[in-house]
């Protein structure tokens, strides 16, 4: 079984917030989800605040500014 979504198991999530929760009970589908999650976790880069100011990291980062439409 896989539980996924933005739901954060608090009273606010239960009573006020706009949360979502998806429960996957189908074993083959849950296995696909779990394997995908594991692949992404293994590829994730652990960053510290020092990494965020590192010049080599900064040079690879593109800042995207949202368009404001009136």
d(CA 26, CA 20) in angstroms, rounded, equals 19
65 in a structural domain: no
CB of 13 closer than 8 Å to CB of 22: no
Q: Which two tokens stand for residue 31?
A: 């296995």
CB of 51 closer than 8 Å to CB of 57: yes
61 in a structural domain: no
40 in a structural domain: yes
Whole domain around residue 16: which residue ranges?
2-45
17 in a structural domain: yes
70 in a structural domain: no
- pLDDT tens column, 19-55: 999 999 999 999 999 999 888 887 776 555 455 555 5
36 in a structural domain: yes
pTM, to two decimals: 0.52
3-class state of residue 40 by DSSP: helix
Q: Which two tokens stand for residue 16?
A: 């006020």
18 in a structural domain: yes
56 in a structural domain: no
- Predicted confidence at residue 66, as pLDDT, reads 56
């Amino acid at each position: 079984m896989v539980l996924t979504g933005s739901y954060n198991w608090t009273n606010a999530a239960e009573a006020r917030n706009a949360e979502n929760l998806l429960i996957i009970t189908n074993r083959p589908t849950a296995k696909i989800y779990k394997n995908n999650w594991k692949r992404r976790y293994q590829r994730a880069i652990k960053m510290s605040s020092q990494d965020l100011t590192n010049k080599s990291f900064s040079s690879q980062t593109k800042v995207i500014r949202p368009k404001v439409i009136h």
